[in-house]
Amino acid sequence: MCGDIKIVRILCITAKCSDLCEVFFEADTKTGKYIEHHGYVPDGLGIGCGDYIDLSIDVDTGKVVGWNTDLTNEEIKDAFENA
């Protein structure tokens, strides 16, 4: 490392799943109620869209790079329904 420069390690994942993507979201942690989606990759969630899953993960933090932490349950539900 040189001075204040931090080396960032990013793991990039791309996968083609056609219309076989399954996504589950626990919308209510108290009741365990969840919503699910089967089909194309939902757009607007930061995980890709259509036939492709595209994720970049910061190896040191385990976090998805560019993940929108402001997504509401309604926005996630809409992304599932519109995929």
Domain chopping of the chain, boundaries:
10-82
Q: Which uninterrupted H or E stretch holds 76? A: helix 73-82
Q: What is the pLDDT of residue 80?
A: 92
Tokens in use for 83? 């995929």
Give the pLDDT confidence of 13-54 residue by residue, as tens digits: 999 998 899 999 998 888 888 999 999 999 989 899 999 999
> Which residues are bridge partners to 25 per DSSP?
35
pLDDT exceeds cutoff 70 at 62:
yes
Q: What is the mean pLDDT of residues 1-17?
A: 84
pTM for the model: 0.76
Which has the higher per-residue pLDDT, 7 or 68?
68
